[in-house]
Every structure is written in structure tokens, then in C-alpha cells.
Amino acid sequence: MIFWFTGQPGSGKTTLGKALINRLEKAYHIDGDDLRGLSSNVDYSEQGRISNIRTAQSIAMYLDNKGQNVVVSVVAPYKWLREEFKERHKVNEIYLHTTEIRGREHYFAEDYEAPTSNFLDLDTTNISVEDCIDKIVKEFM
């Protein structure tokens, strides 16, 4: 099963991804920052982002096809790219957003497109990590 956390930096993707892995007990985590370090892709242009997202998608599909749970935490600003992935593979998309200032706003993707269909919407402003994970588990498991 693939859980795809998307949203602007500071919305809680990595925090909730790690918490979900703890709840699942066995899962692989693909984090955008870790992936960029592994692939040496520090290109934040549209093409650099597309390349990074496609790499995350390929790894997630591979692991899911092997029967593994996969948690992906990436900004993935392009709705068309996320929708294309959901058409090809079963993906549980979780859109995170907050109105709280968390210190990562200078990394915001100006071209971020929020999902419009087939996703779980979580405003992480005034909700605990545990309550978020409960909502995710209730929605997808």
C-alpha cells in the first residue's frame, strides 16, 4: 500500500510519515529531502522536481509491487503528475496544509497545486499527530 503525503514544506509530511510508519510497524519511507541527497538532485526547477517525483514514484511502485507498505513524503507540487501516478497505481494521497508558521515558508513551492479529487484533506494546524494518523488509518485501512 502506498501512502503519498503531499503539501507545502512545514505542513507535516515527514512528521506524519514517520508516525504512520510506527503505526504500520513495517513500512519503507521515501522522504523528498533524503531522496534528493541520495540522487544528488539539487535542481529545484520544474524539470528537477519532476525528475525527483518520478524517482519517488518508481521506488514506491517497486516496493508496493513487492508487497511492502510505502510512505512517501514529498512536496510534489504538480497535480497532473500526482494524478497520472494515481491513474497507473493504487495510491492513497494525503494532502497536508496548515496556517501555522513553522519556519519552512521560504521553501514554499510557488507553483504548488492542491489536489482536487481522490485524496484525504488534513489541516494539521490544530490537530495532534496521533489524531492525524487515526484519520489516515480510518480512511485507508
pLDDT of residue 95: 98
* Residue pLDDT, tens place only, 82-105: 999 999 999 999 999 999 888 777
Residue 126 has pLDDT above 70, yes or no: yes
Angle, nearest 10°, between helix axes 79-88 and 46-65?
20
* CATH class of this structure's domain 2-140: alpha beta
* Residue pLDDT, tens place only, 103-114: 777 778 899 999
Whether residue 97 contacts residue 10, with contact meaning beta carbons closer than 8 Å, is answered with no
pLDDT of residue 41: 61
Burial bucket for residue 49 (CB in 10 Å: 0-12, 13-18, 19+): buried
Whether residue 44 contacts residue 78, with contact meaning beta carbons closer than 8 Å, is answered with no
Helix (H, G, I), strand (E, B) or coil at 44: coil
* Residue pLDDT, tens place only, 22-64: 999 889 999 987 887 777 666 778 998 898 899 999 999 999 9
Residue 66 has pLDDT above 80, yes or no: yes
Helix (H, G, I), strand (E, B) or coil at 36: helix
Report pTM: 0.93
Greater pLDDT, 140 or 102: 140
**Nearest-CA neighbor of 96 among 72, 65, 69?**
72
pLDDT of residue 5: 98
